[in-house]
Structure 1
Amino acid sequence: MTTGHSERVRALLTQMTLEEKVAQLVGYWLDQGGTIAAPMQDEMDTTSGTPLAEITRHGIGHFTRVYGTRPVDAAERAAWLVAEQRRLVAETRLGIPAIVHEEILTGLAAWRAATFPTPLAWGAAFDPDLVEEMASLIGASMRELGVHQGLAPVLDVARDPRWGRIDETIGEDPYLVGTVGTAFVRGLQLQGVHATLKHFLGYSGSIGGRNHAPVHAGPREIADVFVPPFEMAIRDGGARSVMNNYADIDGVPVASDPAIFTDLLRGRLGFDGVVVSDYFAVAFLEVMHQVAADRGEAAELALTAGIDVELPTGDAFLEPLVERVRSGRMDEEIVDRSVLRVLTQKEELGLLDPDAFAAEAPAAVDLDTPAHRDVARRLAEESIVLLSHDGALPLVDPRRIAVVGPNGDSAEALQGCYSFANHVLAGYPDHELGFAFPTVADALAAEFPEAEVTTARGCDVEGDDRSGFEEAAAVAAAADVAVVVVGDLAGLFGRGSVGEGNDTESLELPGVQRELVERIVATGTPVVMVAVTGRPYAIGWALDGAGPRPGAVLQAFFPGEEGATAIARLLSGSAAFSGRLPVSLPRSAGAQPYRYLHPTLGGPSSVTSTDPTPARPFGFGLSLAEFAYADLELTAEAPTGGSFAAAVTVTNTSGVAGTEVVQLYARDTVASVARPVAQLLGYARVPLAAGESKRVAFDVPTARLAFSDRRLVRVVEPGAIEVWAASHAEAGSRLPGAATPRALVDLTGEVHEVGPDDRRIVDVRIG
């Protein structure tokens, strides 16, 4: 990490006028007319109509979404961008190029670029190495096109599945989010581009699961749940950029809070990169939070708090900020602080080098190579979760396959909210997708070439039109097996059933899709239900209901361009199920918010008639193989400031190969504050041939057990810790799953206050 600012950067600052300084602190959004890609975009934008040469006459900090605002040919746009960067160098007084940023949540958001599984699927794969490989491919595409900064990963810990942005999260466990998110940062930045962690801090904790709603989180929840993934990505991943949370915490808008960005982020977490605002977040301090009287005061609040760059435009950080400084109401040194950070970032990215734009843009660009496809397929296969099955799988030589449901023959349904198709092309309905994107029906036809595949939509994702039920039932009745594909359609601000601004009050499948499934099951044809969704729905009726139900149920969190191929391969047995739930599968919306990391009083008990027990717990996922755990060995005693060892033997007791996701859990038996009944310590994907055994060893830093004590200091306390290995958070209780007897490790010594040098990652060896 950078420890200071170079002489070159400091010399540049001394030459700059105030107008040149503030120009470095803003973005300019090209081509945004007609595309709605940010909250209140129409109401907030004040600069998009200004000619580019005029807006950049003093220079510019960022170009906003050069490729990701409308469908453009990547090679042609790259040539334009190189010429534009050269113009900035040649025609502005100080010759400072622009940082180009793009959305990259499911891959580079550009026309014809690879679309990977959504982040909730990354969590379901429990495979940081593969996520790092994916991020490296995304970073290479960015670098080829002259893009320097990606607005990902989202490190918000999932708290409420009613929230529309739940598919952007990695899961409900901070350690899972932290390890997978850190891997994404490493892979991306390996390519010489910068990751942007979002949304700092607590965004996913909004009340009622409503977008932009206030957050009522105590300081302990902030410190112990929301902070750890960011700390890991900063300290272990070296992340160079952070984006703010739109909401307020206990009445204080995060974008105006120096306790968040200066004291916590830069002070305690040691971050020395650049903080960018979420789109229009600075102006929102005036128009939504109403803590600023005008844009100038909003600019002062945000800059003082520690937000360095206003995105996507300069509504507050241009003229209003200049006027604020010139009038004497704001110290110019606060502006200088952020300018130094931005110039240092540009230096790190090589933008200040004399030959930064000497090379010509590529004449041709392939953003969806076989390597992209391969990683997309593998990640999709690893992420799809088998929730139930009665022996119906794998499908063996079916002659007639009915693909029924609104998502069975839809490419858009396989993609998340921030995919280019759903984020941008939805505003261009007549524009081609631009690359191959097989649907589930297409993939099943390819996987079973001798089978007759027929389709029937049955109903839409949303709405109450049942007129297609009879056709769907007839198609299913004539088939050997019916694959019923239900779920979501991702979109923005009311355009879809899930995604940014698409929150829900119910966790039932949207529309009349449950009725469709029940109608198809009633035909008597064997049914495989595939839920392609952006959130976990209350589908316990399909898993454990008293009446007829599907023979198998799969959960696929927006699995991307190779998602349909992955589903088909899993159904045929060409690939093995290994996905695990990164979030609890809810019983009902009324039980929310719920997460597996709860104290005793957060679970079912005799003191309440409400049962929050999920339909399927965190970490759950079936396989066609079966596994057993044995011989848990655990260090008997360890210092509070040290580490301890745990090892378990896992055996594939079946006749087919499979991959088990071994999860190590712990419980603090007595603590100074209420602690969870189960906490994930570490995990490992373990491939096993039929009958094979492997020993899985975990080296666990005691900092994994840290929490904020009554002083709100992060500590590890002495005492007995109960530890066990299991295939999910409730293995050994109500649901099937391998587990070991629990054993105790005694943490000895004084209370250990956790510091930056304490190790945060569990080391795993498989032998």
Structure 2
Amino acid sequence: MLPYHDAALPVADRVTDLLGRMTPAEKAGLLCHAPVAVAPDGGLVDEPRTLLPTAPTTHAVRDLHLRCLTLMAPVAAGPLARWHNEVQALAARSMLGIPVLVSSDPRHSANENPLTSVPSGGCSRWPEPLGFGALGDADLVRDFARVIRAEYTAVGIRMALHPMADLASEPRWCRTAGTFGADPDVVGALAGAYVAGLQGDDLGPDAVASMVKHWPGAGPQAGGEDAHFASGKDQVYPAGRFDLHLSRFRPSLHAGVAAVMPYYGRPVGVDGLAGVGFAFDPKVVAGLLRRDEGYDGLVCTDFGVLTDATLADGTVWPARAWGVEHLDRVDRAALLLDAGVDQFGGEWCPEVVTDLVAAGRVAQGRVDESVRRVLTLLFRLGLFENPYVDEGNAVATVGRADFVAAGEAAQRRSMVLLANDGVLPLAEGIRLYVEGVDRATAERYTTVVDHPEDADVALVRLDAPYEPRQRLPEAFFHQGRLDLPDDRREHLCALAATVPTVVDLFLDRPAVIPELAGHAAALLADFGAADEAVLDVVFGRARPEGRLPFELPRSMAAVEAHPEDLPGGTRDPVFPLGHSVEALDWRPRTSEPQKG
């Protein structure tokens, strides 16, 4: 038995032994964190099958020596477990038998953006992180993270590319749904609790490593445009709150988070920073993170800062190398390594590292430093001792009944009662007109009618407004204006004039809805809830307990005048941060239909 195989030795000794046996190519492979697809039957995918480019799995593991792969597929538990075991067997046949670390974006919420989350594949469904921010319950977040840990480890996912510790200070920002909101104290505390729940007391064989993002805070996007695209490359701090955003990461760092992901954005007007994408700046990674915060864990870039991506429809999506767009990917990689980054997210080009070393531009010792961090994580997670999973256990664990029930309860609890003139909860037996609600589901609660004129009450479910973008991949992101289009606003006001109308808003970011607040009989907000969850609350079978995790501005003019880095404080908001109407007497009630 070679020393690195000996589980009785200290991890540092095992890492040193293995590092000394690796070739430069094997070391370089550990510096890439590549996306891969999975066939529905659990087979390896070696040719592109998705809109987004993915690495050919066999080539990446066998020939490029990659050992960190992120899943881009909503495959069911059984096939995913089979895929995982096949990938581990492929890695085991290599000279050194280094196992694979599989990661994933969030898989437990309602977000349908494939660039920020993955459809569940059978995982229990919970509210978006905003819903946890609405409740402000750190214990619930820890419990949620433990459910993630159980479902992830069952299928072999051992790294979570979450949570986000970003502060939702800019109302238009499309990534708001993935945050815990705009309350600085809540955001930091819940992100830290999330990390603790995923990793446990000690990052070991039953843990999921967490990668907190997006250092040092991705919220203050100029004009609300996101840094995935050139229109949103700048982050601005007109209120001077750079330190407030950075400080939200400290609870996660204190919880021993395994990895940190810097964001794409380039800071504008921050003293001492270079004005390039955060990952490219030594003062941000080696300085603020490693030196000032004392962090010595893994740092991985956000995905796609080296290489332009060609999508399945032929669209070229430029690398998010803001401030260094003029450099080729070799020069970019050199800057990242110099800045203190360990891994290139979304890339499978280890040759850039070997080329830099061969040319004398990067010392082998610098590469070894990052390889050591990756290997340390693999050893601590116990992957060298037991990289495989049990398919039967995966099927039994993912989507387990108690996990599903807990997620459904959280959907209901996290809803916010914004306004109520006494119409809620609805009485059993009323005649209900619905829009945006599955009719068959509503009919399990009461009589559903075809026309609002025949109804006692109308129930409408809406998504928060946004401006659709036509080109991929920007079309996946909800960006732009927050107010309702004229035709939609007029329709809803007319409906409310015809029949008392209850409106439920899915808030993946704030909405400008003063007209609804003035005309609706009741307003609810949810953060990713099934129709059953909303109807249970509407009919008093479940109680909404949430408070707004951000404010709802009164106008777009107020939004546009607001400093992007300041959480809350728009002029005269319709509903302020933390608002709710207390649901004191929330239980089912019955009555006869009011209309003949």
- TM-score, structure 1 normalization: 0.65
Q: What residue is the counterpart of 1:242 in the other structure?
A: 260
Change (3 A) 1:454 1:184: farther
Determine if contact 2:165/2:188 at 8 Å carries over to the other structure: yes
- 1:281-296 paired onto structure 2 within 5 Å: 281-283=305-307, 288-290=322-324, 293-296=327-330
Cα shift readout 1:37-74 (whole Å, capped 9, x = no counterpart) = xxxx5xxx5x73x5614653352221220xx42x4342
Indicate the residue corresponding to 2:504 in structure 1: 530
Residues 631-690 of structure 1: CA deviation (Å, up to 9, x unaligned): xxxxxxxxxxxxxxxxxxxxxxxxx479xxxxxxxxxxxxxxxxxxxxxxxxxxxxxxxx
Contact 1:255 1:282 in 2 (8 A): no
Q: CA deviation at 1:194?
A: 1.0
| 1:431 aligned residue | none
Preserved contact between residue 286 and residue 292 of structure 1 (Cα < 8 Å): no
In structure 1, the partner of 2:523 is: 553
Per-residue CA shift, 1:76-121, capped at 9, x if unaligned?
23123213212212x2121101110011263574422222211111
Shift of 1:489: 8.6
SS at match of 1:149: strand
Which residue does the alignment assign to 2:347? Answer: 313
| Corresponding position: 1:6 with 2:12 | yes
- Tell me the distance in 2 between the aligned counterparts of 1:339 and 1:529: 53
Task: Supply the AA of the counterpart residue of 2:443.
Answer: A
In the other structure, the counterpart of 1:571 is 538
Distance 1:399 1:218 in 2: 52
Letter in 2 for 1:227: L
The whole-number CA distance in structure 1 between the counterparts of 2:475 and 2:294 is 32
Among residues 337, 351, 367, which one is paired with 2:369 in the alignment?
A: 337
Identity value in percent: 29
Taking the TM superposition and a 5 Å limit, the aligned residue runs for 1:24-103 are 24-31=30-37, 33-36=48-51, 41=52, 48=55, 50=56, 52-53=58-59, 56-57=62-63, 59-65=65-71, 68-69=72-73, 71-89=74-92, 91-103=93-105
Show the counterpart of 1:516. 491
Q: Which residue of 2 aligns with 1:303?
A: 337
Cα offset, 1:478, TM superposition: 0.7
Q: Is the CA contact (8 Å cut-off) linking 1:197 and 1:239 kept in structure 2?
A: yes
CA contact (8 A) 1:280 1:311 kept: yes
How large is the Cα RMSD of the aligned pairs?
A: 3.0
Alignment counterpart, residue 237 of structure 2, candidates 199, 217, 239: 217
Q: Which structure would you say has the larger Rg?
A: 1
Offset at residue 330 of structure 1 (A): 1.8
What's 2:461 paired with? Answer: 485
| Counterparts of 2:440 and 2:474, CA distance in 1 | 24
**Mapping of 1:229-378 within 5 angstroms?**
229-235=248-254, 237-250=255-268, 251-283=275-307, 288-290=322-324, 293-315=327-349, 318-353=350-385, 355-357=386-388, 362=393, 364-378=395-409
Following the alignment from structure 1 to structure 2, what is the Cα–Cα distance between the partners of residues 596 and 322? 41
Helix, strand or coil: the match of 1:243? strand
Equivalent residue runs for 1:136-175 within 5 Å: 136-175=146-185
2:578 alignment partner in structure 1: 619
- The one-letter code sitting in structure 2 at the alignment partner of 1:331 is A
Contact 2:220-2:235 within 8 A present in 1 as well: yes
Secondary structure of 1:530 counterpart: strand
Structure 2 residue corresponding to 1:444, chosen from 442, 452, 463: 442
- 1:291 Cα deviation from its structure 2 partner: 5.1
2:554 to 587, 594, 605: 587
Distance 1:97 1:118 in 2: 32
Q: For the residues of structure 2 that align with 1:35 and 1:596, how far apart are their CA atoms?
A: 35
2:532 partner letter: T
Report the CA distance between 1:167 and its aligned residue: 1.2
Contact preservation (8 Å) 2:130, 2:549: yes
Higher helix share: 2
Q: TM-score, normalised by structure 2?
A: 0.83
How far does the alpha carbon of each residue in 1:171-212 deviate from its partner, in whole angstroms, 9 at most, with x for none?
Answer: 112211111222221222235011111111232111000011
Q: Tell me, in whole angstroms, the C-alpha distance in 2 between the residues paired with 1:556 and 1:126.
A: 15
Letter in 2 for 1:308: D
Q: CA deviation at 1:494?
A: 5.0
* Letter in structure 2 aligned against 1:513: R
Q: CA deviation at 1:293?
A: 2.2
**Contact 1:292/1:298 (8 A) holds in 2:** no
The answer to whether the 8 Å contact 1:59/1:95 transfers is no
Residues 489, 336 of structure 1: alpha-carbon distance in 2 compared, 3 angstrom cutoff: farther
Task: Name the residue aligned to 1:192.
Answer: 207
Partners of 2:406 and 2:343 in 1: how far apart? Answer: 34
1:215 alignment partner, SS class: strand
1:541 paired with 2:515, answer yes
Give CA-to-partner distance per residue, 1:715-767, whole Å, 9 cap, x none.
xxxxxxxxxxxxxxxxxxxxxxxxxxxxxxxxxxxxxxxxxxxxxxxxxxxxx
In structure 1, give the amino acid aligned to 2:339.
Answer: A
* 1:134 lines up with 2:159 in the alignment: no
Instruction: Name the CA distance, whole Å, in 2 between partners of 1:222 and 1:330.
Output: 31
Matched residues in 2 for 1:114 and 1:443: separation? 20
- Check conservation: 1:118, 1:168, Cα contact below 8 A: yes
Q: Partner of 2:437 in structure 1?
A: 408
Superposed CA offset, 1:487-543 (max 9, x none): 249999758999963311x221257322221121121x2211111231221112222
Equivalent position SS for 2:214? strand
Q: 1:408 touches 1:484 (CA, 8 Å); kept in 2? A: yes
